[in-house]
Structure 1
């Protein structure tokens, strides 16, 4: 094979091989890394706040919503970890301090229920907007797929949160 043709064919073969094996050719963008880090912190916060509902809530719906937050956000955290690993994104190893959880931990009963409902409504409004943006972005395939897959669950949480005590605007 002549040298010029070889110089053109070799990169094409390497690219085809990488695509065929599922290796990403596109570099992960700073926006993808920022989304993944923000989503990881949000999942950790929702899990921590959800756990508080078991011991601080009075309303059965708040307790049930808290249990759901722990289950769904633990699953989302696992999915994000997989997507981030496949995309070469390093997530925060330990959750940062969470002032919202600290504030809610000082409340009990109906006061907790109202503050929890308000927090969940606001958190899920922000999360839905963040995940919608990432799902529609031209970013990394794994992170984008994770956002698109997780979005319906977050939209369901958003709708559920609107019926919690203290959640009305």
Structure 2
């Protein structure tokens, strides 16, 4: 029978423990997106979901307005929203913390379904009241809530930078509603 020295036993045991530890570490899933999402404050998570949805809804509804509206003022407003809200969507995605999934196109389908089969004056009225006014108000609220309660510096900065654009678009929606003699 072979006798092992104490040093050999200690070295072999240490090597074995290192191998077990490395094997256990290799089997632990490396999921930065899950860790990043768990570390994100609730207000920031809400902003990512609600903010991206309102932005996507405004953008997609404005695209529908371009083909369904018969009014050049509504079409001009919609074209501006497509440009503004495409930029907002990109800035939100860029500002989100690494590993956090930001929905690319998560529009509210109920809102889009409510307008996509309308045309002409019926479309214009519904679009102005339900999308331009109500939708802009929801977007404004989501961004203001992030500024007030959010904790992620990048998201708060994006919300702060976007606020003047959203406020200007909301004011333009109110003016459009007034010119068309609609609630606003």
**1:153 to 1:94, Cα distance in 2 relative to 1, 3 A:** closer
**1:96 to 1:150, Cα distance in 2 relative to 1, 3 A:** closer
The count of aligned residue pairs is 143
Alignment of 1:1-169 (within 5 A): 27-84=39-96, 86-95=97-106, 98-119=109-130, 120-164=132-176, 165=180, 167-169=182-184
Select between 71-80 and 157-166 the one with higher mean Cα deviation: 157-166
Deviation at 1:58, TM superposition (A): 1.1
Deviation at 1:167, TM superposition (A): 4.5
Does the CA-based 8 Å contact 2:60-2:107 persist in structure 1? no
Unaligned runs of 5+ in 1: 1-26
Does the CA-based 8 Å contact 2:58-2:85 persist in structure 1? yes
Larger radius of gyration: 2
Deviation string 1:7-50 (CA, Å, 9 cap, x unpaired) is xxxxxxxxxxxxxxxxxxxx421210111111111121111100
Q: TM-score, normalised by structure 1?
A: 0.77
**1:114 to 1:166, Cα distance in 2 relative to 1, 3 A:** farther
Q: RMSD in angstroms over aligned alpha carbons? A: 1.9
Deviation at 1:155, TM superposition (A): 0.4
Unaligned runs of 5+ in 2: 1-38
The ranges of structure 1 where at least 4 consecutive aligned residues each deviate by more than 6 angstroms after the TM superposition are none
Deviation at 1:55, TM superposition (A): 0.8
